[in-house]
Amino acid sequence: MKSWIEISAAALAQNVAAIGRVAGSETQVLAVIKADGYGHGATTVAPALVRAGAHWLGATDLAEAVDVRQTLGSADNTRLLIMSAILPEDSPGIVEHRLTPSIWTPEHIQALESAAAAAGTRLAIHLEIETGMARQGAAPGSELAAALQALAHSPHIDCEGLYTHLCESEVAHSPVTAQQRQRFTAALDQVLAAGISPRLVHIGNSSSVDESSTLPFIRQMAARIGALPMVRTGLAVYGHTLTVEGGQPHLNAQLEPALVWKAPILHLREIVPGTTVGYGATFTADRPMRLALLPAGYADGFRRAGSSGVGNGWVMVAGQRAPIVGRVSMNLTVVDVTEIPGLSIGQEAILLGPGVTAEDHARWSNTISYDILCGIRANIRLV
């Protein structure tokens, strides 16, 4: 028996609706399902997000996007953006599965032009602009000029979208974001001067919607060229946000975490004072204790950093905190249920959910909630 996660379709729907409300009714919502839907299962959440009204979905790469396309079926016309850089050999698959790649180099464009021409079709692409991450995208100036020139020679490629990504959107009044806006404005000028007018402009992730001050800029950039504005939200779709620094959150209070991670109690054990627990004997009982054994460990993404004496994590059992005792091991974790009466084998413990959030796990592990959610490996049930 292993742990499992339950995904609430109702919470996903509530979150998509909340993002739409805060972003503004004219703004399209791309729900990011990359990294296997932030650990929630890309093919599990995709149909629920489409039903919830997400206009676009964003997948990691060709393989993930194809899985999702096949799950949605041939009758579904949801648009799917591939968010990571493609390789030239991905091009035929992108055309075949009606996917939309993020591109920025002449090599991307030439490979896609050949594939689209061979299939006798026209392929929409989104042109990514580098404004401050030095990760993906063409920087305004000569790099962007080279991409625009390649587009001019590619009759089978349609530059539908123009976008960039902010590197610290959770920080209000960020000078870095201000500079990224300036660079994006320069890029838009350059694209327009080349005679290209994209129909979608997208900037901003979950924190951009939560912090909200970049939303008017996104709408303004889109309005300048008669395009639709769009936001690309991942974390918020699943019901989480980062803390807004130096400003007010506008979205956070309207979100509902969509995932609950559960495991059954496999065994209950009474121990006497002096008994040591787990690898390294890092914990010694100083009183009689009752311990519960749970089938989840670091192989399942239940971080070792939650061990007692390290992050001092806990799980929830019968609505009460049960502290982790000793080290989290590969497939097993022991928790203290001395103060929780009336337990039985098979009873469910909550590893992550009400009372023990992704943010709690992130704090014990000195990381971010994204990392915790993506790292969960458990069977998925949509509820």
Ligand X SMILES: *Cc1c(COP(=O)(O)O)cnc(C)c1O
Q: Which residues bind ligand X (CB under 6 A)?
A: 32, 34, 83, 165, 205-207, 232-236
Q: Residue 177 or 233: which CB sits closer to ligand X?
A: 233
Q: Residue 242 or 349: which CB sits closer to ligand X?
A: 242
Q: How far is the CB of 376 from ligand X (least distance, A)?
A: 16
Q: How far is the CB of 286 from ligand X (least distance, A)?
A: 43
Q: How far is the CB of 206 from ligand X (least distance, A)?
A: 3
Q: Residue 133 or 345: which CB sits closer to ligand X?
A: 133
Q: Residue 202 or 262: which CB sits closer to ligand X?
A: 202
Q: Whose CB is nearest to ligand X?
A: 234
Q: How far is the CB of 251 from ligand X (least distance, A)?
A: 11
**Dihedral (C-alpha) 89, 92, 97, 99: value to the nearest 10 degrees?**
70
Closest C-alpha among 255, 214, 260 to residue 17: 255
Q: Residue 232 or 250: which CB sits closer to ligand X?
A: 232
Q: How far is the CB of 120 from ligand X (least distance, A)?
A: 31
Q: Residue 15 or 307: which CB sits closer to ligand X?
A: 15
Q: How far is the CB of 58 from ligand X (least distance, A)?
A: 7
Distance CA 257, CA 267 (A): 29
Q: Residue 13 or 350: which CB sits closer to ligand X?
A: 13
Q: How far is the CB of 68 from ligand X (least distance, A)?
A: 15
Distance CA 358, CA 372 (A): 6
